[in-house]
Amino acid sequence: MRELSLHVLDVVQNSLRAGASRVEILINEDIGRDLLEIEVVDDGKGLEPGMLEQVANPFFTSRKSRKVGLGLALFKAAAEQCNGSLDIHSQPGSGTRVRAAFQHSHLDRAPLGSVEETLEALIACNPQVDFFYHHRINGKEFRLDTHRIKEVLEPVEINNPMVLAWLKETIREELTGIGQEV
């Protein structure tokens, strides 16, 4: 994938298929340590121990509609190609945590991409899910919690086109404010 935000989208889609009602997306850019970490944590149904060992295998998928599952395998390959790693922790009934680490300065590391568009798409298509987004760049932080936003907006839906446009612009401005190249 050309952008890491597309890997985030793929991992979150796995979370949603697992029945998650809350998804946390955490991005940490620490230039001093030359580290980029991307973590997705959900409260979905989790994985059985046997499945956990298989999920990064490109020839394994729990879906019945196809016989391969390339998403996590590609994410793992992208991380390892950049002197990083991919770790997956899960327990049945307790959700899943997927964490990828990259050497931030590595020449082969894909750009983070359009996080605001990824979040906009996730929120637009899944208004019933609470998304928590936390992005840290060298100690500067931006946080977004759709649960809190929904409480303030009520009765207006979070996937209202005007709300989505505002969210996208706000996310872009906030990320630029903490040093993200948008």
Q: Tell me the pLDDT tens digit for each residue of 108-142.
A: 999 999 999 999 999 999 999 999 999 999 999 99
Is 97 within the bounds of a domain? yes
Tell me the whole-structure pTM to 2 decimals.
0.91
CA–CA separation, 163 and 168 (whole Å):
9
Residue 173 belongs to domain spanning: 4-177
User: In 10 A of CB 21, how many CB atoms?
Assistant: 14
> Residue 56's pLDDT band (boundaries 50, 70, 90)?
low
Domain-embedded: residue 156: yes
Q: Please indicate, yes or no, if residue 182 is contained in any of the structural domains.
A: no
Quote the Cα angle for 128-86-46, to 5°. Answer: 40
Q: What is the mean pLDDT of residues 154-158?
A: 95
Residue 57 lies in a domain: yes
- Domains: count for the chain: 1
> For residue 127, is it within any domain?
yes
Q: How confident is the model at residue 71 (pLDDT cuts 50, 70, 90)?
A: confident
Q: What is the pLDDT of residues 75-115, one digit of tens each?
A: 999 999 999 999 999 989 999 999 999 999 999 999 999 99
Task: Give the CATH number for residue 23.
Answer: 3.30.565.10
In a domain, 153, yes or no: yes
pLDDT at 61: 55
What is the per-residue pLDDT for 34?
98
